[in-house]
Structures are given as structure tokens and as C-alpha cells.
Amino acid sequence: MNRFERIKKLGEGATGSVFKAFDNTSGILVALKVPEPMPEDIDISAHYSREIELLKSIHHEGVVTVVDSGTDDGKPWVAYEFIKGHTLRELIASGKAFTVEESLRIVRDIARALSYIHDRGIVHRDINPNNVMVTTDGAVKIMDFGIALKPGEPFLRQFAGTPGYMSPESARGEIGGPESDIYSLGLILYELLAGNPAYTGGSVPEVIGKVIVNDFPELGKRKADLPRDVVSIVEKALQNKPKDRYQSAHELAQVIDAILNPQTEVKPSQVDKSVLIESTPKIVGIAGPYRGYEVELGPMITTFGREYADVNLSRDPNIAPQQCWIVPEEGAYWLYDAEDSGGTFLGGMAIKRAKLRHGDKISIGLSTFKWDNASDVSLPARSPRDIEYVPVIPRTPTGAGTQPATDYLKPHGYKQASTGGFSPVLRGFVFSILIVFFCVVIYGFVLLPNGETKKINLVLEDYWVEIDGELTRGSPEVIVSDISNRPEGFKYDELESIELSSSFFFKLPGPASTRRANLNRILIVEKAMQALNAIRVKVVTSELSKEIGKYIKEIDLIALPENDRWRTRKNTILASLRQIETWLNEKALTEAEYQPQIAAGGASKEALQKFLEAYYLITEAAGKPSTEIARNAFYAFQVSRDKALEALDKAGADPDSKALVVLSDYFMVKLRMDSLPSWAPDIIDDSVALLTEGRDMLDEFTDAQFPKAVPSEITDDGYRVRGRLKAKYITLIDQFQRSSGATVPGGNAE
């Protein structure tokens, strides 16, 4: 794509990547979105066309603007305005603590933009901190209308949005109106004020389950020092039912405005007219490369120059990176030359600074602009103190010839600079010092770190050959069998004796990062060798699976540089270990390692503990189970449940047995959801009975009783906290009803 010069990658989403790029056609910076990598299962051309069409219908300062769009080699692209600033998510992640006023102003400005969008029948459906930009001057802009719903579009029942920022109705797959965007905006305000998001969880289903039941910590309890009227805004925006929230974004913005700007009576005599600028000023190109070009100026400093200036004039080859500034001061706008070098001209004369008046002609580079600001007519005439000239040659029109510099300098009392300089001896000494300094830098920052890296890589290469040979010799079964039959273990003593340089250079940032990468490569090899030794000595299948899972987590957390070839090797090791882990889990279940103990243990703590282990093998490690694994696991849970029901019949209200029934009923239906291709009538009836039984029995517990009944081995709060497990049940019931077409008595009612 020759039109754009990509500068750096800004981010990547479901429909492509966004780059900071220079548009060679318009001469401005843009945010270029292209489908790289090409998404699967998406009509990408239709998706881009839809978003472009929607954004071109929106013209609001709080919404990102489309500059241009087109196709290249059959692939669509779209260029958005380049916004200088950060996403709200980046600001939150940086650790910035937002004041109450900052939080309210950001949310008010988002609400104003949403009000404009909603008035045109559009619902954004994905308002979250990643989709809000905060510019360097504090303005906000809403981005990413990829899943926005336009008027008249058919609605497909589906999840839409980011899990932690969805409304309850969106989480249930229902169509959401403007009130859904308001709920999402309320979640942003909650996070800005509390410092943490309202909804968190160990998995997406858990978060969605909380959203559905509106289960989040009260803001007033998290931040007891917040003003009551501010907490009330969040509480109303986050009401479970749409009709109980603010009925428009405009209403929400007005309520916030009332807090930020309490109404006070101001008499005309109290207003200082010297600081008022009533109209929006602008510059208009009247000659040169930017003839006809118009730029409106904001209420803060505006810089003119090349790539990194607020107004990019890089089409003019004579423009400096920072050419000049226009700044509001003392009730007027002032023009400053950036370097005091005489490169900025007002009325044909080079200036350092000058107060601008309507109609002034500003010349920079090869371009001339007219200053257009109707408010200037009310200002007093420009006095000598309002302009400071640079004592250089006046600007001469192109082609008219120039006055020799010496002819100008002599009559005005200026002297030419001396052509002298340092003595030859001093120049030689300085040059020698620079050479020594350069050699030290090359040694400390290049030769020393590279030498250590090369030495370590030579050692690690032999280990990699051995690891790769063991983990790629065949199927997981073959790998485990061959390693188990080795007469001796895998040795890696040499790794512990590698000598590292103690040079002070390794305390500096560059060499220190090289040292960390070298140590992390060694650590990956050590963990891989330890995993191979575990395979060789472990006998019990489930214990080996847990051991391999531990090494997978440890290796996965080891960081390496972007282009390091050990990143690929690390991923190869992880992929092989995960295949072995999955095979071990399947082997443990197909061998019925747990069922006899569960059956024999009845409703005892031992049975519950074995149930827990089976649960982790099925859901946490093996992922979506095969039909055979699911069937064996289903029967294991069924045995546990039946034994627990027997104990309940004999002993009455036994909390341990009740907890086992509740958990078993949940996982029996979940396993069917994950593995059955279709629903037979008898299976539907049985699943309805299981869901009804488990949900109703869960309701018999109090919030305080339930955690005590669940075995301590179950550490996941999603299964220990009654409210969270209830949310899981609600989500599962909703999925089951939509999948099977059946109805569970009581539905998702609390």
C-alpha cells in the first residue's frame, strides 16, 4: 500500500490491526485500520463497509472521524483521524488515580457523544475503556463501531460487547437499547471512582453470570469517602432493569453537569471581558502548498510543524519539525516563532512573538496563511509592546531576489561571527576522549552482552536437541512410555555452573535486559528437564498430570524478547507438554481411577475430594472432553450424587451431601452441553430435573452456610460462594433452554 507509510502498530482487534501511518496523499497522520491478520468466518469487506457507512453519518467532536477508505489488492482499509492521547484503558492501567471531578468530566463528555449517537437511532453496544480515547488536551472520543446497531437492522440474538462492561440484557443475548450503553458508561464511572472494575472473575462465563444477576460490590462500600450524589449517579446508571436507569444519555450528562457546575448568579460586572474569546479562530491557507487549507484552533496551545506537531504541514519541504505556536494569552491569541530564529513572518517581517489581529498574514516555509478571528475586532489596536521582531532580513517574495546578508548587517551595526574555534591541540584531546568513550560503549553495550549470549546459547543448544528429540518422537502415549523406560534421569547440572560476567555494565538497562533474557532461556531448559524427569518417575496418572500442569504454568510465565528464537522453542515445549497433560487426564478417567473411590466413599469428605479431582481433570485441564471422557465423568458424578441422596434419605439435612448434589447436578448437565450433538427427549427431561433439583437445593443454603459445606479442596470461589454458583446455574439454565428448546420450571427467577 504505497499511499501510507506505517510508523508503528497501535493495536490489534477481531477485525484487523491499527497502525499510526502517514498519508502521502493528504500529508497528515492517520490511524490506519487493515485486516491483518485476515479474520476467519467474517465477511470483512461487508464489515468494514458497514462501519465506514455508519461513522460517516456521525459528525460529532466526541466520535472518531473517518478520513478516507478504500481497497488495496482486494482488501479493505479505512483511515481514521489520528488522535494524540491514550485510551482510557491505558490510563487506568498506568496506575493513574482519577479525581472525582476528572471522572465525572470524562463520563459527562462520553454521555454527550452518546446522546448525539442515540438521537440518530444508533446503539454502540461496546462502550468500554478500550473504546474511549482521551486526547492530550483532555477531550474524549468514542471509537470502534464494529458491532453498533443501526436503525432498521435485523437483530440476531447473540452476546454483544465486552463481558465486564455489558448490560444484563446484553449478557442474556437480548437486544439492548440506549439504556444498555448507559449501563456500560455507568461501569466506566464505577471503575474510575473505585480504581477497580465492578465485575471480575476467573473466567468469561463467571463474569457474564455476575452481570446477568447484577452482582457487583457496592461503590459506597468500596469508597466510603465519595460524595453521596456521585454514588447515586452510579447506582441509577447500574440498575438491573433498563426502565430504572437514566432514560437518555442527555439526562445523565445534565445530572453530572449539575454537580460539576452548580448554578450561581453572576452579574455582568463580575465578568472580566479581557479574557473572553467569543468565536472559534482559524487559519486559512492563501498561498503555497496549503492554499485553501483551513484549521480551527482550540482553547489551548496549537503547534505547527511536521510529523509530531498539532498541525502537520509536512507537505511543505521548508517547514521545520516545530515551526511556530499559536497560544491564547491575555484575552487574545499570540503567534510565537518556535526557535526565535526568524523563520516565522507576520506582514513580511520576521517575528519572535506577536499579538494576532483579524486579517493578519502569517508566512512560514513556502506557505502563507490568513488569521481569521472575528473576536479580534473588539480588541484595542496592536501596540509596539504587542510585537517583537527578529533583527534579520525581511522576508522577500519568491523570485524577487535577496539582499546580501553583509549589506544588511553593516548599516544596522551587526558584526559577523568569528571564524575561529578550538586550538588544534584541544581539538585533538577532545577527539581522543570521544574515541575512548565510543570504544567503552561498544564493549559494554554490544560486545560483552553478545559474548555472554553466544556462550550460553552454545550450552543450551545441546539441551534443546535432547528436549526436542524426546518431545517430538511420537504420540503422547509413546513419549510417556519411552521416557518412563529410560534407565537414568535427565541431567542438567551444567546449567547451574554457567559463569556469568560480574561487570557493572549488566546493571545498566540495555545489558541488564540481555542478562534477564539469558537467565530466562536457562530457566526454560531447567523446567523442561524437570518435567521430563517427572514423567520418568511418577507412577499415578493423576499425580503426573498435576505435576506436568505445574511446569506448564511456570514455563508459560517466563518472558522472552519479541524476536528471540527461544520464544518459538518455548511454545513447542508448551504444546507438547499440554498434549501429554490432556492424554494423562483422559487416561485417568478412562481407567476409572476415581469412580470406585467415589462410590465406596458415599457422601464422605474423601468422596467429595475425589469428586473435586475429577472435576479439575475434566474441566480445567482437558478442556472440552471427548464423548468417552464425558460419559465416564458423567457416571462418576452420577454415582457421587446417588450416594449423597442416599445419605440424605438416612441422615436428613446433611450439608456436605447437599453440596455434593448441587455440584454434581451442575456438572452432569454441563458435560452434556459440552459433548452431546443433539438432545433426546429422555435426556432433556432428565437434565431439566437435574437443573431444577440443583438450583432449588442451592437456594436452601444461606450465604454463610454454603462455603462451610463445600470441601476446602475446592478453592475456586465460583463454586464456594453461593451467589456466584447461583449465577453459574442461571447462565447454564439459559444456555440449556436455548440449546434444547426446553423450559426449566422457574426459569432464571431468583
Q: What pLDDT shows up at residue 629?
A: 60
What are the residues whose beta carbons fall under 8 Å from the beta carbon of 549, sequence distance 6 or more?
Answer: 581, 621
pLDDT at position 279 is: 57
Whether 473 and 605 share a structural domain: no
Q: Place 619 in a pLDDT band, splitting at 50, 70 and 90.
A: low
Are residue 514 and residue 455 in the same domain, yes or no?
A: yes
- pLDDT recorded at residue 408: 33
- What is d(CA 208, CA 728) in angstroms, rounded to the nearest whole number? 9
Of 534, 517, 462, whose CA–CA distance to 494 is shortest?
462
Tell me: the pLDDT tens digits for 564-585?
A: 888 888 988 998 898 888 788 7
Strand, coil or helix: what is 365? Answer: coil
C-alpha cell at 367: 506557505
Amino acid at 289: P
What rounded mean pLDDT belongs to the chain? 79
The answer for 328, left when phi > 0, alpha when psi is -120 to 50, beta otherwise, is beta
Domain count, the chain: 5
Q: Are residues 528 and 446 in the same domain?
A: yes
Q: What type of residue is 669? A: V
pLDDT for res 501: 62
Res 399 pLDDT > 50: no
Confirm whether 410 is domain-assigned.
no
pLDDT at 219 over 90: yes
Element (H or E) spanning 487, and its range?
Answer: none
Q: What is the number of other CB atoms lying within 10 angstroms of the CB of residue 474?
A: 10
pLDDT at residue 607 tops 90: no
Is 599 inside any structural domain? yes
Q: What is the pLDDT of residue 340?
A: 64
Compare 406 and 169 and report the one with higher pLDDT.
Answer: 169
The predicted pLDDT at position 563 comes to 81
Phi and psi dihedrals of 484, rounded to 5?
Answer: -65, -30
User: Does residue 155 register a pLDDT over 50?
Assistant: no
Q: What is the pLDDT of residues 410-420, one digit of tens each?
A: 333 333 333 44
Average pLDDT over residues 57-63: 89
Q: Under a CB-based contact definition with an 8 Å cutoff, are residues 26 and 4 in contact?
A: no
Specify whether 611 is located in the same domain as 733.
Answer: yes
156, part of any domain: yes
Least confident of 88-97, 101-110, 191-200: 88-97
What residues form DSSP beta bridges with 85? 135
Q: Are residues 565 and 578 in the same domain?
A: yes
Q: At a CB cut-off of 8 Å and minimum separation 6, what does 622 contact?
A: 582, 585, 586, 629
Each residue's pLDDT tens digit, 462-476: 888 889 888 888 888
Q: From the candidates 23, 72, 109, 126, which is the catalytic residue? A: 126
DSSP state letters, 488-539 = S----HHHHT------GGGGSHHHHHHHHHHHHHHHHHHHHHHHHHHHHH--
Looking at the structure, do residues 447 and 570 belong to the same domain, yes or no? yes
- The 3-class secondary structure across 245-293, one letter per residue, is CCCCHHHHHHHHHHHHCCCCCCCHHHCCHHHCCCCCCEEEEEECCCCCC
pLDDT at 396: 43
The residue from 81, 103, 133 where one domain ends is 81
Has residue 11 been placed in a domain?
Answer: yes
- Predicted pLDDT of residue 599: 44
656, 615, 606, 659: which is closest to 637 by C-alpha? 615
Tell me the per-residue pLDDT of 314-365, one tens digit each, with 9 for 90 and over.
Answer: 888 888 888 888 888 777 888 988 876 678 888 888 888 899 988 899 999 8
93 and 145 part of one domain: yes
Least confident residue range of 48-52, 257-261, 685-689: 48-52
What's 37's domain CATH number?
3.30.200.20
| CATH value at residue 118 | 1.10.510.10
Helix (H) or strand (E) holding 47: helix 44-56
**Integer Rg of the chain from CA:** 35
Lowest mean pLDDT among 372-386, 401-415, 509-523: 401-415
Q: What confidence score (pLDDT) does residue 596 get?
A: 46
Grade residue 538 by pLDDT with cuts at 50, 70 and 90: confident
Is the predicted pLDDT of residue 42 greater than 60, yes or no? yes
**Alpha-carbon torsion (222, 224, 227, 233), positive or negative:** positive
The model scores a pTM over 0.75: no
Catalytic residue status for 144: no
The residue among 342 and 138 whose pLDDT is bigger is 138
Can you tell me the mean pLDDT for 708-720? 71
Q: What is the share, in percent, of the chain residues with pLDDT greater than 90?
A: 19
Q: Which three cell numbers stand for residue 723?
A: 451467589
Task: Between 211 and 147, name the one with better pLDDT.
Answer: 211
What is the rounded CA–CA span in Å between residue 716 and residue 145?
36
Query: Are both 392 and 251 inside the same structural domain?
Result: no
3-class secondary structure for 54-104? HHHCCCCCCECCEEEEEEECCEEEEEEECCCEEEHHHHHHCCCCCCHHHHH
Residue pair 551/530 in contact (Cβ under 8 Å)? The answer is: yes
Pairing of strands 302-305, 311-312: parallel
User: What is the 3-class SS of 618-664, one letter each residue?
Assistant: HHHHCCCCCHHHHHHHHHHHHHHHHHHHHHHHHHCCCHHHHHHHHHH
Write down the pLDDT at residue 235. Answer: 95
Encode 646-709 in three state secondary structure. Answer: HHHHHHCCCHHHHHHHHHHHHHHHHHHHHHCCCCCHHHHHHHHHHHHHHHHHHHCCCCCHHHHH
Cell of 658: 447437599
* Of 227, 250, 231, residue with least CA distance to 181: 250
Report whether pLDDT(245) > 80.
yes
Distance of CA 697 to the CA centre of its chain: 40
Q: Which has the closest alpha carbon to 707: 664, 666, 662, 665?
A: 662
Q: CA-CA-CA-CA torsion for 606, 612, 618, 622, nearest 10 degrees?
A: -110
Provide, rounded to the nearest whole percent, the portion of the chain with pLDDT above 70: 79
406 lies in a domain? no
pLDDT reading at 105 higher than 60: yes
Q: What's the average model confidence in pLDDT over 725-729?
A: 88
Of 573, 588, 603, which residue constitutes the final position of a domain?
588
| 603 and 688, same domain (yes or no) | yes
For the residues 81-86, what does the mean pLDDT come to?
A: 86
Same domain, 539 and 482: yes
SS3 for 50?
Answer: helix
Boundary residue ending a domain (260, 289, 307): 260
For residue 178, give Cα distances in angstroms to 185, 239, 409, 503: 11, 14, 69, 62
pLDDT in tens, 497-526: 776 666 666 666 677 788 888 888 889 999
Rounded to an integer, the average pLDDT of 56-60 is 87
Is residue 131 located within the same domain as residue 239? yes
Domain annotation covers residue 414? no
* Helices first, then strands: H and E counts in the chain: 25, 19
Q: Are 326 and 344 in contact (CB under 8 A)?
A: no
Q: Smallest Cα–Cα separation from 207: which of 156, 157, 245, 170?
A: 170
265 found inside a domain: no
Which of 223-237, 566-580, 624-638 has the lowest average pLDDT?
624-638
Q: Range of 481's domain?
A: 430-588
